[in-house]
């Protein structure tokens, strides 16, 4: 990749998203149908790939604590704006969400799995007394590919373009490209990452103030400050721990709490995923500030870390059965921290291997409040990986799936991830469906949708 192309890649793949990108895709497909629905809805089907079925089971739609694919789809149809892409739910109102929840409670939305589809795939199909409207999102979280009304296609993406994906060409971005860019990029090319970092920092503060999700950020803050501070949750940044490692862990968890738990604030995503953007940007930014580095050095480190994340994710893909916060984002965070510490290329590659190797088997069992716990493991692994690499520790050839080179290590993880994805996703989906059935039979959770 040329220097100019890498700059464009950073700007296109580090972008704000509102809510989890799983619900975003469900909402986008439904919002795209709305202009063409003229009658009363008789049936409403949302069909998703197995990989994407797990993404909506346990994550809340922005503005509500309710979970489920149906909630996001209904919110997108009622108040979503398809033209906003990853921020399709940005302008939904409280009234929109009340109407969406009423639709979900009516039981009209039916969710099912498209067993033959892989990766990102969402089909929203609505039949009214006048027409049937279908919209398809595929390949990327905001990849609207088709809108059909009856037998007429009113919008489509050319099939050749439809199949063109960044991850289809993983060799376009090499490790040499990444290290070269980190040495030659200008302050102006990376300055936008300061704003991306601040977005995720604001989300972390909202996670503590709002008490979203599992409230992991609040719990960690209480452990630090105790009960003495009466304004602990109103002004959490006054009481952050002195240890930079603890501060990173707390704020990453809090940002995940907010994003998974229904905060309306955006996150800065990395290659389509907000949690990965959080796991990447917050550790590098907070670490750089703790070293009193100037802003341009921090944003350069963020760019370097982002490219390392892209490198891993371009090989494995945007959707995987393995946790990409653990594999890709931790790799990026470790690389960025190495850059801030001035470690050599060989030490940096060692750090990335040290981060990936122990986490490569962590499953992605869907978007949910407990993602905060996995992200905590990922950032602590990244920090330790850099520390150990600086001391000469490097996992290698005899260490399981790890290898002598970073390139070969990523290749091994990629092979395992890709070969096991369908089987692992199928197993996890079956587990989710069994839980869903138990919930329906016991009527314990009115928002759960039928499958």
For 209-242, the pLDDT digits (tens) are 999 999 999 999 999 887 666 789 999 999 999 9
Q: How many CB atoms lie within 10 A of CB 401?
A: 16
More reliable by pLDDT, 435 or 259? 259
Instruction: Give the percent of the chain with pLDDT over 70.
Output: 94
Residue by residue, DSSP assigns 348-392 as HHHHHHHHHGGGTT-B---SBTTHHHHHHHHHHHHHHHHHHHHTT
- Where does residue 159 rank: exposed (0-12), middle (13-18), buried (19+ CB within 10 A)? exposed
Cβ contact 306:168 at 8 Å = no
Q: In sequence order, what are the beta bridge partners of 132?
A: 127
Q: What's the confidence (pLDDT) of residue 51?
A: 77
> In sequence order, what are the residues at sequence separation of 6 or more whose Cβ sits closer than 8 angstroms to the Cβ of residue 233?
208, 209, 211, 218, 221
Number of H helices, E strands in the chain: 18, 8
Q: In sequence order, what are the beta bridge partners of 273?
A: 270
Q: What's the confidence (pLDDT) of residue 54?
A: 79
- Where does residue 133 rank: exposed (0-12), middle (13-18), buried (19+ CB within 10 A)? buried
- Where does residue 132 rank: exposed (0-12), middle (13-18), buried (19+ CB within 10 A)? middle
Q: Which two tokens stand for residue 60?
A: 């809340």
Cβ contact 179:171 at 8 Å = no
Q: What's the confidence (pLDDT) of residue 160?
A: 57
Q: Is the pLDDT of residue 445 over 50?
A: no
CA 207 → CA 41, 90, 263, distances in Å? 37, 18, 7
Cβ contact 333:23 at 8 Å = no
Rounded to 10 deg, the angle between the 69-79 and 94-106 helix axes is 130
> In sequence order, what are the residues at sequence separation of 6 or more whose Cβ sits closer than 8 angstroms to the Cβ of residue 195?
none
Pick from 20, 13, 86, 4: nearest CA to 307? 13
Q: What's the confidence (pLDDT) of residue 30?
A: 97
Q: Which two tokens stand for residue 366?
A: 């869907």
In terms of average pLDDT, the best of 107-121, 186-200, 404-418 is 186-200
Helix (H) or strand (E) run with residue 415 in it: helix 406-442
Cβ contact 326:359 at 8 Å = yes
Q: Which two tokens stand for residue 85?
A: 């892409």
Q: What is the mean pLDDT of residues 79-97?
A: 94
Instruction: Give the percent of the chain with pLDDT over 90.
Output: 75
Q: In sequence order, what are the beta bridge partners of 363?
A: 322
Domains of the chain: 14-164 (3.30.1330), 166-430 (1.10.4100)
Q: Which two tokens stand for residue 413?
A: 């993880």
Q: What's the confidence (pLDDT) of residue 451?
A: 35
Residue by residue, DSSP assigns 144-180 as EEEEEETTEEEEE--HHHHT--GGG-GGGS-HHHHHH
- Give me Rg for the CA atoms of the chain: 21
CA 377 → CA 26, 187, 248, 252, 301, distances in Å? 29, 31, 11, 10, 21
- Residue whose token pair is 């990102």: 120
CA 276 → CA 133, 256, 376, distances in Å? 33, 10, 12
Rounded distance, CA 345 to CA 176, Å? 10
Banded pLDDT at 158 (limits 50, 70, 90): confident
Q: What is the mean pLDDT of residues 136-146?
A: 90
Segment 400-422, tens digit of pLDDT: 999 999 999 999 999 998 888 88
> In sequence order, what are the residues at sequence separation of 6 or more whose Cβ sits closer than 8 angstroms to the Cβ of residue 198?
none
Please state, rounded to an integer, the average pLDDT across all residues of the chain.
91
Rounded distance, CA 20 to CA 33, Å? 20
Q: Is the pLDDT of residue 448 over 80?
A: no
Cβ contact 257:372 at 8 Å = yes
> In sequence order, what are the residues at sequence separation of 6 or more whose Cβ sits closer than 8 angstroms to the Cβ of residue 341?
386, 390
Segment 170-188, tens digit of pLDDT: 889 999 999 999 999 999 9
Q: Is the pLDDT of residue 395 over 90?
A: yes
Q: Is the pLDDT of residue 202 over 90?
A: yes
């Amino acid at each position: 990749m040329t220097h100019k192309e890498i700059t464009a890649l950073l700007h296109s793949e580090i972008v704000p998203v509102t809510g989890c990108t799983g619900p975003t895709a469900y909402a986008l497909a439904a919002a795209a149908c709305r202009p063409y629905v003229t009658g009363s809805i008789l049936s409403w089907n949302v069909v998703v790939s197995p990989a994407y079925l797990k993404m909506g089971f346990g994550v809340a739609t922005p503005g509500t604590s309710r979970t489920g694919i149906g909630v996001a789809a209904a919110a997108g149809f009622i108040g979503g704006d398809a033209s906003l892409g990853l921020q399709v739910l940005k302008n939904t109102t409280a009234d929109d969400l009340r109407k969406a929840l009423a639709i979900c409670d009516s039981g009209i939305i039916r969710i099912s799995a498209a067993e033959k589809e892989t990766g990102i795939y969402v089909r929203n199909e609505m039949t009214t007394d006048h027409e049937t409207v279908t919209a398809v999102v595929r390949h990327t979280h905001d990849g609207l590919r088709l809108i059909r009304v009856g037998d007429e296609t009113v919008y489509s993406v050319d099939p050749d373009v439809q199949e063109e994906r960044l991850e289809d060409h993983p060799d376009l971005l090499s490790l040499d490209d990444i290290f070269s860019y980190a040495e030659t990029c200008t302050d102006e090319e990376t300055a936008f990452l300061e704003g991306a970092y601040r977005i995720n920092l604001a989300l972390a503060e909202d996670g503590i103030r709002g008490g979203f999700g599992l409230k992991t950020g609040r719990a960690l803050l209480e452990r630090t400050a105790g009960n003495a501070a009466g304004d602990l949750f109103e002004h959490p940044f006054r009481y952050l721990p002195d240890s930079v490692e603890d501060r990173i862990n707390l704020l990453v968890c809090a940002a995940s709490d907010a994003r998974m738990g229904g905060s309306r604030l955006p996150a800065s995503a990395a290659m389509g995923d907000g949690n990965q953007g959080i796991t990447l940007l917050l550790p590098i930014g907070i670490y750089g500030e703790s070293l009193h580095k100037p802003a341009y050095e921090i944003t350069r480190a963020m760019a370097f870390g982002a490219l390392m994340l892209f490198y891993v994710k371009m090989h494995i893909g945007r959707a995987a059965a393995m946790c990409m916060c653990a594999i890709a984002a931790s790799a990026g965070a470790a690389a960025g921290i190495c850059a801030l510490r001035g470690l050599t290329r060989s030490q940096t590659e060692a750090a990335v291997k040290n981060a990936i190797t122990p986490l490569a088997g962590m499953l992605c069992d869907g978007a949910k409040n407990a993602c905060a716990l996995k992200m905590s493991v990922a950032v602590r692994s990244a920090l330790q990986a850099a520390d150990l690499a600086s001391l000469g520790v490097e996992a290698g050839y005899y260490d399981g799936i790890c290898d002598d080179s970073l390139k070969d290590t990523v290749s091994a993880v990629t092979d395992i991830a890709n070969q096991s994805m369908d089987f692992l996703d199928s197993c996890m989906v079956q587990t989710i469906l069994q839980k869903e059935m138990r919930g329906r039979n016991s009527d314990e959770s009115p928002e759960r949708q039928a499958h």
